[in-house]
Structure 1
């Protein structure tokens, strides 16, 4: 009896075929608040970094711990979950971004009454699968268009094997643990921290 739920969760992870790369070319040298790229899987993905305050702008070149950011994206493959976090930019676009501020998003079950609640955290997990929602994943806003909203609270720029005051970092989307080696959803906006 226990094998059926386990198989439902594990089978898609084991049978996943990598979709290639995201199409975002190399290192970004400016301080944009949005990115768009056409991936090897023929999907065009984009995301924007916004302020939660209406009309306010975000300075991605001077973040401070405690800043709150809203990341909204579209064009993502909702059959795969994503993590949204500030991570070290890898030297090679074929490598997984990381380590990340805040680590892997908290996978504790959502508490009663929090469905749809806006909760800011250093990293967010978006996954439409009902099983992963039981472990704290936020669902896509619209699975058909691959639209999501994530709420980041900027954490300490210094962590284990990471110092975003020295290392090149960015706000990333990347596939979650259900497709860890798949780079198709790796997009980023570079960030730096105020002195």
Structure 2
């Protein structure tokens, strides 16, 4: 079945998988999009036709509708790839991202990738099954990384649904309806206060100036906090050494 949204996106679905196309002809295919386990299930995401110069996050986010940046994102943006809730793909990351970002595979001058994501119905901050937090459900998709937050050219999203779990409903009605999978072309980012890792609470608070997909502690502030702690530690060591040095002076 082929679905068209605003004439800009096609989504082809099988019984388990779905494929969506973006504004520049790029596509993603998700191995399973319906009846996912709310407790967490691994899916494979294949992408091709991406701009090699634009780094992306592959994420699970609240569906904010066509023209809007999908956010908050469950698990935040996992720049180190340790949690499996998201992936950072970039062939030209900033220096601190070298060795962390997975490079694109170049095919005919375009970027391709294959990643596995652990897709869950909720995390500490966001619940895809809660209509108050995610009235349109959630999506698996791509978006430009934190170096191009306002760039909607890399947005390709596919709605997902969850099987009924012990904690609540199937969560499928919102995810498959309303603003369905769409190519985001608008500039209205709907950010929350931070991200864990490519997102703190699911309450919207920011705008286009935010760095990353939201839901956890923002990567930028976390990195800055780490540097601050290192600085504070160094200052503490110096402060502790000075009395000793002065005591030992003749």
Give 1:176's match in structure 2, choosing from 145, 163, 176: 145
Q: Given that residues 121 and 162 in structure 2 are in contact (C-alpha distance below 8 angstroms), is that contact kept between their aligned partners in structure 1?
A: no
Relative distance call for 1:128 and 1:103 in structure 2 (3 A) is same
User: Equivalent residue for 1:154?
Assistant: 119
User: Equivalent residue for 2:224?
Assistant: none
* Structure 2 residue 10 is matched with structure 1 residue 45: no
Name the TM-score, length of structure 2 as normaliser: 0.52
User: Equivalent residue for 1:36?
Assistant: 21
**Which secondary structure state, in structure 2, belongs to the residue aligned with residue 146 of structure 1?**
strand
Give 1:105's match in structure 2, choosing from 69, 78, 95: 78
* Structure 2 residue 42 is matched with structure 1 residue 68: yes
Q: Given that residues 68 and 120 in structure 1 are in contact (C-alpha distance below 8 angstroms), is that contact kept between their aligned partners in structure 2?
A: no
User: Equivalent residue for 2:127?
Assistant: 163
Q: Given that residues 55 and 90 in structure 2 are in contact (C-alpha distance below 8 angstroms), is that contact kept between their aligned partners in structure 1?
A: yes
1:159 deviation in Å? Answer: 3.7
* Structure 2 residue 91 is matched with structure 1 residue 122: no
Q: Given that residues 158 and 165 in structure 1 are in contact (C-alpha distance below 8 angstroms), is that contact kept between their aligned partners in structure 2?
A: no
1:96 deviation in Å? Answer: 1.3
Name the TM-score, length of structure 1 as normaliser: 0.66
Q: d(CA) in 1 for partners of 2:121 and 2:157?
A: 19
Give 2:64's match in structure 1, choosing from 75, 90, 98: 90
**Which secondary structure state, in structure 2, belongs to the residue aligned with residue 75 of structure 1?**
strand
Relative distance call for 1:46 and 1:35 in structure 2 (3 A) is same
Relative distance call for 1:190 and 1:134 in structure 2 (3 A) is same
**Which secondary structure state, in structure 2, belongs to the residue aligned with residue 148 of structure 1?**
strand
User: Equivalent residue for 2:225?
Assistant: none
**Which secondary structure state, in structure 1, belongs to the residue aligned with residue 71 of structure 2?**
coil
Relative distance call for 1:132 and 1:184 in structure 2 (3 A) is farther
Q: Judging by fraction of residues, say which structure has more helix.
A: 2
Structure 1 stretches of at least 4 aligned residues deviating more than 2 Å after TM superposition: 130-135
Cα RMSD between the aligned structures? 2.8
Residue by residue, what CA displacement relative to the aligned partner does 1:2-53 show, whole Å, maximum 9, x if unpaired? xxxxxxxxxxxxxxxxxxxxx438xxxx98611123x2xxx21111112xxx
Greater relative CO, 1 or 2 (CA 8 Å, sep 6+): 1
Q: d(CA) in 2 for partners of 1:150 and 1:120?
A: 13
1:180 deviation in Å? Answer: 0.3
